[in-house]
Structure 1
Amino acid sequence: MENVKTLKGNETGLGWDPIKGTVVAHEWWNEKFKTTTYAVDIICSYYLSYIHKEPCMDSFHTGLVWLQEIMRGNERRCVNLFRMDKDTLIKLCLDLECHYKLKCSKKMTILEKDCIGAIDGTHVSACVQEENLIRFIGRKGVPTQNIMAACSFDMQFTFVMAGWEGTAHDGRLFQYAINKQNLNFPKPPPGKYYVVDAGYQQMEGYLAPYKGTRYHLPDFQRGGRPRGLKEIFNRWHSSLRCCIERTFGVWKARWKILRTMPPYSFYVQRDIVVVSMALHNYIRRKALADPAFERLDKSPNFIPPDIFRDVDDIQAEESSQESGALQMNALRDQIACSLMLANNDY
């Protein structure tokens, strides 16, 4: 402090106030402080304007996923962005595809605006008492818990029904889920649909592939491009439905407990499945950088390995006379024809 008292104001701009016991600033120092503050303001303004810019479009989706978000969202948002309503935008895209050879993505087309997600079943390890083993050992050869789930295209679960024995057929779980009101299954609104595999019946709101025709993506990778209208549709359908396989894969890879379930009560094992799916969704929404999701986002065709994945689908019986099935058959044919016209690469 003695050193401060001896400072000369005309050299440093500082002076000592013996009454207040503080260092006081003279006009020279005040002017220097104003200049420094002004410089800091300029630097901060430049940083916020050119280095750390706040995005105007705050949706975390991009590209086709963003377009799907627009098509499923509020009508006014579509008008504000494209200056036309949704129906007009769809007609424009189809006209450009059919008449002006605009090539749509091999993974998604504008017709997918009506698809709200995918449904499938999966298995995780189960630890049950010996008297229950027969009911839980299915095609996997080990005790498993059968689970039905629905997911969105951003790899979040939108519905789960867990706690079924490994021998239960996927179609049985599906019928139970959509008919049991207290489960609150998110049924598709009129005109919308889920994509499902051949193990589910074709019915209103649930679009299955053509049966007896090449379907899985590895089949096309090994056997070349799809041939004919049905194979073109099935490849498109498989590319769309693989979102749930990718979702199952990253979920199981994160939670190792699903591979070898400890000997908890089966109700606890069921709850572990549901809670881990809820945490999966939370991480997807909130994590700024998650290695598991980043790998999938960078590799659209990558499906994480699953030791409980089915090799062959057990195909459901066709109920072609049911009105809902006829409606979905017509939609399937319509999409197939559109893909046939729009994709000259096949």
Structure 2
Amino acid sequence: MEEVLNGHPLRSYDLFRMRPHVFRKLCNRLREIDLLQDQCNISVEEGVAMCLYIFSQSARMRVVGDRFQHSLARVHWWAKKVLRALIGLSQTIIKFRNRGNVQPEILDNLKWFPYFQLGLSYRGRKSTLTQNVLAACYHDMMFTFVCSGWEGIANDSRVFIDAVTRAEHAFPMPTDNKY
């Protein structure tokens, strides 16, 4: 562990998809809010590393057990424990924003409801039910435009061109100095 975290930063990123300083901050934060503690001769850092290795490399637990020299049961226990800790951490760092700044046209459910109604079911090339939906949003991830109802085998560019050119869709075109 120390060799990876104290070595070249790209090695840590390749193995855990996280830079060493971010990895250490994550482990320290999990300790601070008492979501993880060292247990069974395995440090929080090693437990988090095993879990991140599973996630980032799509590795089987047997491979992780061999790489970290721990039993399969111990790897499974830590993976479950770290996953629960990350879920617990998410509740402290993910905050919903005030919805007071939502555009009035989006709040008007009656206007936007037809775009979310399911149209006729369409069969794709593998006989599955499919439907294309074009959605646009601001940089703050708030939807500004939704066009649904195109059959699933329609080309994406065809759906986009239709949404931009047909006036009844009222596509929100950016101004000249915006993109």
Say yes or no: TM over 0.5. Answer: no
Which structure would you say has the larger RCO, counting Cα contacts within 8 Å and 6 or more residues apart? 1
TM-score, length basis structure 2: 0.31
TM-score norm. by structure 1 comes to: 0.17
Which one has the largest radius of gyration?
1
